Amino acid sequence: MQHSDLLPLDGRVAVVTGASRGIGAAIARRLVRAGACVVIDYVSDDERAQQCARHIMDDCDAAGRVITCKADVTDAGQVRDMVSTTVTTFGGLDILVNNAFAHYSFDPRNRRTFDAIGWNNYAAQLEGCLKGAYNTCEAVLPQMRRQAGGRIINISSNLVDSPIVPYHDYTAAKGALVGFTRSLAQEAGAWGVTVNAIAAGLTVGTDSSRATTEDVREQIIKSTPMGRLATADDIAGAVAMLAGDDAAFITGQTLHVDGGLVMR
């Protein structure tokens, strides 16, 4: 009996939003390494997105399996165009990773307290996180239904369950994304589509961790059973797992990737 040399995601097509750097870029790289064709969505920096795509193709020997697509996820028209480009280029769309969110200043020392935050701040975070996910899901689900299958993975935060630093508007938007995940999973299961979320812990080397104070960093590490912060590759590995065949019967779940800081 011969064993297949196929990679876990061979023949699959993925869109990763906000993927030109940080966690998004790590997710794109991991999916390509697993055999998928990947669309790197980004909103503004053409050069950085192209450089990210080149690095991934070079590192993974994946010429022709990575493209960039400039699309603001809060703009439904741009998202539909991106999905159309994806299907035209690669012949389908199997995996959607909603990683993009509105710009946010993660700074424990200078964060806005509740009495300094207006509803417009909440609205901006909901626009980037929840509306962005709504737009992408609305655009990809018809294609996934035609294929009778797909994977949607939404990137949330463990701050929803453990708001060590109370970033009120950001955390509220990420919490709304978890509710959206569960509700959509309930309906999409009939179409062969799973919908899950990743609750990422504080991740080194990202915008969210850059201004983290040493005392907060040490508090998190001390409270984490694994004794360290998350890396972008930790998050990417969990996404690849949920995107693969071994997770075919997992839906509506929020997987905490934070070294055990939050246990449910």
Catalytic residue IDs:
170
- Bridge partners of residue 199, in order along the sequence: 156, 256
Percent helix, percent strand, percent coil in the chain, to nearest 5: 50, 15, 35
Q: Which of 56, 66, 132 is nearest to 100 (CA)?
A: 132
| Cα–Cα distance for residue pair 96/137, rounded to 1 Å | 8
| Measured CA distances, 18 to 5, 212, 249 (Å) | 31, 22, 27
* 153, 197 contact by CB (below 8 A): yes
Pairing of strands 37-42, 66-70: parallel
Helices 46-60 and 22-33 cross at an angle (nearest 10°) of: 30
Other Cβ atoms within 10 Å of 78 Cβ, number? 18
Hey, what are 15's tokens? 């869109």
Cα 37–18–15 angle (5° rounding)?
Answer: 25
d(CA 27, CA 236): 4
| CA of residue 264 relative to chain centroid, distance | 21
Q: How far apart are CA 39 and CA 19, in angstroms?
A: 9
